[in-house]
Structure 1
Amino acid sequence: MIWLQQAGKRQANRHYILSVLSVLPPFVKYRKQKKEFHSPYSSAPDMIRNYFIITIRTLTRNKLYTSLNVAGLAFGITCFLLIGLYLFDELTFDQQHTHASRIYRVVEHKNVKGEQTTIAAGSYKLAEETRKMIPEVENTTRFQRIGRANLIDPKNPVPFQETVTVADENFLQIFDFPLIAGDKQTALQAPNSIIINEDLAMRLFNQTQVLGKTLEFSFMEAPLKITGILKNHPSNSSFSFNSLVSEASFRNFDYFKQTMESDWSSTDFSVYFLLKPQSNPESVSTKITKLIHANLKPEAGTTLSYSLQPLTDLHLNSENIVDGARNTNVEAIVQGSMVYINIFSFIAFFVIIIAGINYMNLATARAANRSKEIGVRKSVGAARANLVYQFLFEALLVTSLAFVVAIIFVNLVLPSFNEFTNKQLSLGFGTSYQIWLMAIGVTIVIGLLSGSYPAFLLSGFRPTLLLKGMKINSGGSLNLRKSLVIFQFTIAIVLIIGTIVLYRQVQFMNTTDLGFNKDLLVVIDVNTGKARSSFEAIKEGMSKIPSVKNVSVTSRVPGEWKTLRTVKINTQGNRIEPKDAYLFGADKDFLQTFEVELIKGRNFNTPTDSTAVLLNETAAKLLNITEPSDQLVEIPAMSRGDGFQPLAIPFKARVIGIVKDFHFQSLKNKIEPLVLAYNNNPIHVIDYYTARIDANNIPATLEKLKAVMVEADKEEPFEYHFLDEQLALFYMEDYRRQTLLVWVALATIFIACLGLFGLATYSAEQRVKEIGIRKVLGATVFNLTSLLSKDFLKLVLIANAIAFPIAWWAINQWLEDYAYHIDLDWWIFALAGCLALLIAILTVSWQAIKAALANPVKSLRNE
């Protein structure tokens, strides 16, 4: 009006237009030259800078929601990275070898009268002749674990009982086991040569610069010269040897000369092929089978065939394949499982999706607060594409910030995580580029996906409706948010149920009655002939120790982690096919030492019992023996896991007793028929002393046991373990997986609660006026809290209804892998559902109570 009075209508209109343009945000400016609207941010850097400035302003103005989004995404990405590192390590087992994709293990499939055995082993000739006879085979190598022996530094004669592996000269040509000293081309060529790894070198010599030194080896008279030092194996290797003796060291032995000349049938060697590029392993397998059949005629009723297993499949796909040549140390290598790989892959995927859902939920919930901003920007010419880019940029920036926080978290917890999982994982500059590509790619995808719905939702409304105060958060977007909350809690509840079940299953395996008393049993390895031949004197010496209650000698112990002998057994005169049973030798003190119950018959008691046997209940039932009365049974064949071989003289024994079934293997296996033969049986000699001790001053007792062993054989290293600790190793991987699942479940619940907290906060903010009016009209704090909470609790109840059948199906599938397992009781589901409801109530109630306690006068005045 003042401009109109002072300068006239024309000048007033011009002044007004210029004033409006001067205060507009710089989305558009009027260019007189071309008479068109033009954005000053036409270049990409300018556009990105503008997006960045607006994003920072938005994030700093809403600190609570920014913190919730960053925290939720950071936790999700942290879990994803940790699980991803673990899975990548499992999936890349044995891929450190240059030609890993062309290396195959020979697997023998033997069917004897319908009984199938699959053995990862082969004969000397199989390895030697296939290289010459099959064109696709570029090279072959063979090796075998020959047992445990003393390795001694002559200058410091302290015996180290080590597992010794013998390998031919091609071993280091096929496998890339790096040497830190020595020439891999010649290290295994000469007789009486050995290569050792860094760990063994440090234990023997306290240094790794030992090339050319010699070791005394209890299997051979001549000393062994150290021709190479192996770098320690990475954690994701299927091989666990710490020394390799050259095969040439044994070629002058008579038994090995015979092996070299005629061995087509044994399964004494692990045999690996390096195939030429583009070779077909199935075709090679067929040629191997034909070559064996051309030189070996199987016995009647026996069929043989061979296949090639890729090296990279050994860790995850060797279930039911017997390592006939025992090339790995079963105590050191834990077999992987594709089942758990799939489970944790799905978990990692769902955790990161849940984190993205949080962002999407909170962004759409906050849409109403930005409606006028969007309306103004659209009314002054901002294109929809610009708004979409702006919101996607916000999502990517928040996700990138969460990614940085997650990397910090991961590196903080990795030392503990590695110790727990027995891995060597890292996330830094030395980490595989594949890990980084996966992590960055997932972060970008999650940022785009989580920001896409809010971006397209907010940018799609007409500016006039937005400026008039149209409610964005209604209809479809509200239903979407409810669906996403249900999805989050469904996954969380499934994980809670899975965690409870896995925890109870591990507890069940650790605490269930095994049929013998595993506590305070010291198992001492027998490694030399002297310790075996003088076992009566050693037992007597141990028994004189006041803190030793009982001592027994056995060939194996219950809960055995090594290969158990299996035999064919039948009652004498019975013409039906002999049955399979396990066997190990035991003396007269076995039952008392292990506290195994004798339910019928008698125990071993005299030297004349050398032909006597005890049967467990399952074996007695198999042989249809109800009352032991010296019934004659015959054992014509035995096996060490590599196929049955007939005994030169069948073992004819008398059944003198029946013992109560006990778990002599893992609880993952059902109780099988077991024969307890007397300690001087012809099938398996003694291999352990087991002493039951009292709990007082255990270290002193161990020293006294060691003194007895050393007195009997000064070269015998004292190797022992407690049986309960060894049994726990059976379930160590289950315990690790249980703990991982617990932490993932907690992280998932935490992320879901962050989103629920944010939505509850927003809901309370949106209903400030309603809450104020209700309080003025007499509503109590409880009434208002219930009003604000009930909608969210309904969503959790729906999530329970969806999660229960999913969890029931998945867990039943998993429990089928265990011969003995817990029952899937109803209360587990009820507990998980109640926990989810309680967590939701605690999350929502805090914000609801805060809103209910607010002063209604203040809220109504503000309105």
Structure 2
Amino acid sequence: MIRNYFTIAMRTLVRNKLYAALNIAGLAFGLTCFLLIGLYVFDELTFDRQHSNADRIFRVVEHKNVNGEATTIGAASYQLAEGSKRHIPEVENTARIDRIGRANLINPENPVNFQENISVVDENFLRVFDFPLLSGDKITALKEPNSIVINEELAMRLFGSVDVLGKKLQWGHLDTPSKITGVLKNHPRNSSFDFNSLISEPNAEGYKQFIASDWSSNNVAVYALLRADAKPEAVAQKMTRLVLSNYQPEKGTSLHFSLQALPDLHLHSAEITDGARNTNVDAMVQGNPVYIKVFSFVSLFVLFIAGINYMNLSTARASNRAKEIGVRKSIGAVRKNLVYQFLFEAILVTTLSFLLALGLINLLLPYYNEFVGKQLSLNLQTNYRIWLMAAGATALIGLVSGSYPALLLSGFKPVMPLKGLKINQNASAGFRKGLVVFQFTVSIVLIIGTIVLYRQVKFLNNTNLGFSKDLLVVVDVNTGKARSGFEAIKAEMAAIPSVRSVSVTSRVPGEWKTYRRVKINTESNRTEPGMAYFFGADKDFLGTFGVQLARGRNFINPSDSTSVLLNETAANLLGISDATGQYVEIPMVSSNGGDFQPVNKDGAPFKARVVGIVKDFHFQSLRDKIAPLVLGYNRNPIHGIDYYTAKIQPANVPATLEKMKAAMVRADADDPFEYHFLDDQLARFYLEDNRRQSLMTWTALSAIFIACLGLFGLATYSVEQRVKEIGIRKILGAGTFGLAALLSRDFLLLVLVANLIAFPIAWWAVHQWLQEYAYHIDPEWWMFAAATVLAALIALLTVSYQSIKASLTNPLENLRSD
């Protein structure tokens, strides 16, 4: 029976080549889009799932409120980690990691400097997490002080081999070398961790004394491995009680902890400051669960639209198969057999489409991976769940899209088609129209969304930020020599003919590191300090970055070490309108998003004179409103310099960079010359927006293309059914334009109905999305009008080909049989 079904199905496809091609192409295109987006979504949803105990590992998150100032940080104290294991039965083990900066890492056998991040972990880290070791023992690798575990990529860079156990490495700032006790496999791309080396916690006496009484800091990221029956909420409450029983917060401070599941780190950490700074910043930047939902629904819509096309064309061509059904029923076929036959045809079509989709995916994946920044694949090594999803989607779309035609066609009475009577398809015609409306509703929503997203991304990239971002080379300062001798280095860089100006700062606009925050108030109001961001700058900052001075003056010389500049928002916060003779006090500072600490050890505030007010500029992303900002002179007690920034001329940039590098090397040969262009760094703020805009564009084009395939097939069938009517109208004098308009009118009306449904949906969706940005465009009427015109034009072009072709045919050929 199956062989018979297959034979009949193949004959049907061969006999109706155009409709078979339309169905297979549409379904293949839909499956391709579905699987490509599915690979991306699956990768996002499986972040950190490579650890066998991922569902039992939780990050400790501290929630603190100090006089109404709330902070949420993914870090905690040393003793919380140690005490939880001893006093909370549900905690099986804990691990901690702290990134304490960057330094040169040198292989003494081949002393080439590599600037690497320093990640300090306890001995349990490799026991809690499943970071596979190529060599070494995870139980003992980090037990002894001065032990270091490196990954295979770093081993190859330093030694050219992964056989490095027992070799020594030297950190630039440490006197004692580190012994390599293990080699890790490289992390998968969908991991929230990006370290390439781990060093064991030190055993210095001062360090041990500090951690022995540390219940209050949030210096380290703490991960708790809970027992299988533990309830995270209850454990978090016990952690809060444990800390508060050993540490009494200051008056006005409230404190509690929560536990965040490891698999949630990537998609649900937008409001959490990463205290250990161990997040993988290149892993699609920061995952967004909203976009995961949007693209999941969009991929399903595209696949659903492809299935709708199959249903549309199958039901539209019901009359063409009526005699076949009549003959089969008259010789004994029962309805069940016919249903199986048509379902088999649908599954055959989807199977052929799936095979075609696999070929398309493997052709597109290299470009797609480059675009989304991942390493996705669809081969025999791919996770079995991907293949189950692909097979399930193919079978489901085949069964669902083939079920309605199968039930409709198998329900014909045999006597009607054999007597030449017309099959009444009014019901199915209404159903087909509804499906066309649905297809174009989805397509129009995607068109509007793409236009709005494109305009918003263009706005983000072209908005005046309040400073100049072009041709600014930012050089990272990595060693003490480059800091202490900055005047000489700056002067040498400024003397390069192609360098227009040079500034030294502790942070730069568009900073990818954490800005320091300060509590600030005026002399007359010491009870209600406000919060502002802070970074140090020299007298050339305004000129180099093109920041405008609104009132007062700029820094002049080292005597301004106790002077500050405020941005307009900070001036308004403090009620300062005159930049002359005003004094402010900064009693507290927060580094890396942690607790506020006194600026001076004796508790005395930093008292500074306001000498100028600068116009507001966007030193953060356009997602954030411009916040109060304090610019301290570079010799301030809060934050020293960390960058040289040079404004260069556009001619012969490589030569300019070489001269700047030479200036740095002469000052400190051990400091690698690390630089980037500021406009490139600012573009990283919106890297995901650009990717999503492109992905949305291609998805919208895919939905439109599939909808047009279905519309083309329906138009072809409609013309076939009306050839005699067209012939009669031509004989009676109807022109080509009139006939084309007549045949296109019904389809255009369906598109207009789709617009009416799509507009409110699209308006609501884009308004919800734009709330993500503090600065954004407003949707305008022309965006909706453009979508209407575009959809109507696409539908008209799709339908008009068949309409014009039919109207140009000799009417005698269509009427000859009558």
> Which bracket does the TM-score occupy, shorter chain normalised?
over 0.9
The question of 1:57 aligning with 2:4 is answered no
Segments of structure 2 that go 5 or more residues without pairing to the other structure are none
Matches of 2:165 and 2:686 in 1, distance apart?
40
CA drift of 1:606 comes to: 1.7
Q: Which moved more, 1:341-350 or 1:203-212?
A: 203-212
Look up the match of 1:118: 72
Query: Match for residue 793 of structure 2?
Result: 838
Percent sequence identity is 68
Q: What is the aligned partner in structure 2 of residue 9 from structure 1?
A: none
CA contact (8 A) 1:639 1:645 kept: yes
Alignment partner of 1:663: what SS? coil
How many residue pairs get aligned? The number is: 814
Aligned twin of 1:852: 807
1:667–1:819: 8 Å Cα contact kept in structure 2?
A: yes
Q: Which moved more, 1:540-549 or 1:732-741?
A: 732-741
The DSSP-based 3-state class of the residue aligned with 2:224 is strand
Residue 86 of structure 2 corresponds to which residue in structure 1?
132
* Aligned-partner SS, 2:605: strand
Q: CA deviation at 1:331?
A: 5.7
Find the counterpart in structure 1 of residue 500 from structure 2: 549
Aligned residue for 2:530? 579
> C-alpha separation between the residues in 1 aligned to 2:542 and 2:421?
83
Does structure 2 retain, via aligned residues, the 8 Å contact 1:365–1:473? Answer: no
1:40 is matched with which residue?
none
SS in 2 for 1:580: strand
Taking structure 1 as the reference length, the TM-score comes to: 0.93
Contact 2:502 / 2:646 at 8 angstroms: preserved in 1?
A: yes
The Cα shift of 1:262 comes to 0.7
Decide whether aligned partners of structure 1 residues 89 and 453 sit closer, same or farther in structure 2, where only a CA change above 3 A counts: same
Deviation at residue 327 of structure 1 after TM alignment? 2.3
Conserved in 1, the CA contact under 8 Å of 2:284 and 2:372?
no
Contact 1:371 1:469 in 2 (8 A): no
Q: Is the 8 A contact 1:330 1:561 kept in 2?
A: no
The DSSP-based 3-state class of the residue aligned with 1:599 is: strand
Aligned to 1:825: 780
> Does the CA contact (< 8 Å) of 1:559 and 1:665 recur in 2?
yes
Counterpart residue number, 1:166: 120
2: CA distance, partners of 1:208 / 1:352: 46
Matched position secondary structure for 1:683: coil
The one-letter amino acid of 2:5's match is Y
Q: State the match for 1:176 in structure 2.
A: 130
Following the alignment from structure 2 to structure 1, what is the Cα–Cα distance between the partners of residues 423 and 449?
A: 39
CA distance in 2, matches of 1:753, 1:207: 56
Confirm whether residue 752 of structure 1 aligns to residue 704 of structure 2. Answer: no
1:433 Cα deviation after fit? 1.2
The equivalent of 1:392 in structure 2 is: 343
Alpha-carbon distance, 1:581 to partner: 0.4
The reply to whether residue 417 of structure 1 matches residue 368 of structure 2 is yes
Of residues 644, 651, 656 in structure 1, which corresponds to 2:596?
644
Q: Which amino acid aligns with 1:656?
A: V
Q: Is contact 1:367–1:473 with CA below 8 Å preserved after alignment?
A: no
Query: Could you say if the C-alpha distance between residues 690 and 510 of structure 1 is closer, same or farther in structure 2, counting changes exceeding 3 Å?
Result: same
> What is aligned with 2:110?
156
Query: What letter matches 1:136 in structure 2?
Result: E
Where do 1:683-694 residues align within 5 Å?
683-694=638-649
Q: Establish whether residue 321 from structure 1 lines up as the match of residue 308 from structure 2.
A: no
Corresponding residue number in structure 1 for 2:542: 591
Q: Tell me the distance in 2 between the aligned counterparts of 1:468 and 1:619.
A: 88
What is aligned with 1:91? 45
- The answer to whether 1:108 aligns with 2:59 is no
Instruction: State the Cα distance separating 1:206 from its structure 2 match.
Output: 2.7
Q: Which runs of 5+ in 1 are unaligned?
A: 1-46
Query: Residue 466 of structure 2 contacts residue 617 of structure 2 at CA under 8 Å; is this kept in 1?
Result: yes
1:781-820 equivalence runs, <5 A: 781-820=736-775
Kindly state the Cα deviation for residue 569 of structure 1 after the two structures are TM-superposed: 0.6
CA distance in 2, matches of 1:462, 1:689: 85
CA offset at residue 473 of structure 1?
5.5
Q: Distance in 2 between matches of 1:630 and 1:97?
A: 59
Q: How does 1:215-294 map to 2 (within 5 A)?
A: 215-247=169-201, 250-251=202-203, 253-294=204-245
Q: Report the secondary structure of 2:400's partner residue.
A: helix
- Kindly tell me: are residues 837 and 765 of structure 1, through their superposed partners in 2, closer, same or farther at Cα, counting changes over 3 Å? same
Secondary structure of the residue that 2:782 maps to in structure 1? helix
Kindly indicate whether the alpha-carbon contact (under 8 Å) linking 2:283 and 2:373 is maintained by their aligned counterparts in 1.
Answer: no
Q: 2:439 aligns with which of 482, 488, 494?
A: 488
**Residue type of the alignment partner of 1:630:** G
> What pairs up with 1:580-729 in 2 under 5 angstroms?
580-640=531-591, 641-648=593-600, 649-729=604-684
Larger CA deviation: 202-211 vs 819-828? 202-211
Q: Which position in structure 2 is the counterpart of 1:780?
A: 735
Partner of 1:342 in structure 2? Answer: 293
* 1: CA distance, partners of 2:421 / 2:181: 82
Query: How does 1:413-562 map onto structure 2 within 5 Å?
Result: 413-472=364-423, 474-562=425-513
Tell me, what secondary structure is at the counterpart of 2:379? coil
Cα distance, 1:255 vs structure 2: 2.9
Which sits farther off after the overlay, 84-93 or 186-195? Answer: 186-195
User: 3-state DSSP class of the match of 2:599?
Assistant: strand
Deviation at 1:91, TM superposition (A): 0.5
Deviations 1:171-230 (A, max 9, x none): 000100111122212111122111111222222223322222211112310111111111
Residue 196, structure 1, aligned to residue 153, structure 2? no
Aligned CA RMSD, in angstroms, stands at 1.1
Deviation at 1:260, TM superposition (A): 2.6
Q: Does 1:211 align with 2:162?
A: no
Asked if structure 1 preserves the Cα contact closer than 8 Å seen for 2:450 and 2:697, the reply is yes
3-state DSSP class of the match of 1:417? helix
Report if aligned partners of 2:550, 2:613 keep a CA contact under 8 Å in 1.
yes
Deviation for aligned residue 1:431: 1.1
Q: Paired residue for 1:301, among 217, 240, 252?
A: 252
- List per-residue Cα deviations over 1:221-269 (Å, max 9, x = no partner): 011111111111111100011110111xx11x23312223211111111
The one-letter code matched in structure 2 to 1:711 is: R
Question: Which residue does the alignment assign to 1:29?
Answer: none
Helix, strand or coil at the partner of 1:582: strand
In structure 1, what is the Cα distance between the partners aligned to 2:609 and 2:424? 84
Match of residue 569 from structure 1: 520
Q: What TM-score do the two structures reach when normalised by structure 2? A: 0.98
Quote how far apart the aligned CAs of 1:332 are: 6.0
State whether residues 364 and 473 of structure 1, in contact with CA within 8 Å, keep that contact through their aligned partners in structure 2.
no
Per-residue Cα deviation, 1:786-812 (whole angstroms, up to 9, x for no partner): 111111111111111111110000000
Q: Which moved more, 1:513-522 or 1:495-504?
A: 495-504
Following the alignment from structure 2 to structure 1, what is the Cα–Cα distance between the partners of residues 422 and 54?
61
Distance (Å, rounded) in 1 between the aligned partners of 2:750 and 2:412 = 28
Contact 1:597 1:659 in 2 (8 A): yes
User: 1:329: Cα distance to partner?
Assistant: 5.2
Q: Partners of 1:419 and 1:229 in 2: how far apart?
A: 28
User: Which segment is superposed worse, 763-772 or 195-204?
Assistant: 195-204
| Match status 1:142 vs 2:93 | no
> How far apart, CA to CA, are the structure 1 residues paired with 2:278 and 2:789?
50
Tell me the amino acid that sits aligned with residue 262 of structure 2. Answer: L
Q: Which amino acid aligns with 2:162?
A: T
Which of 300, 307, 314 does residue 363 from structure 1 map onto? 314
User: What SS does the corresponding residue of 2:773 show, helix, strand or coil?
Assistant: coil
Question: Secondary structure of 2:378's match?
Answer: coil
| CA distance in 1 between partners of 2:717 and 2:493 (Å) | 74
SS in 1 for 2:816: helix
The answer for the alignment partner of 1:42 in structure 2 is: none
Say if 1:330 and 1:562, in contact at 8 Å, map to a contact too.
Answer: no
Q: Is the 8 A contact 2:191 2:280 kept in 1?
A: no
For residue 729 of structure 1, report the CA deviation from its aligned partner.
0.7
State how far apart, in whole Å, the 1-side matches of 2:159 and 2:783 are: 55
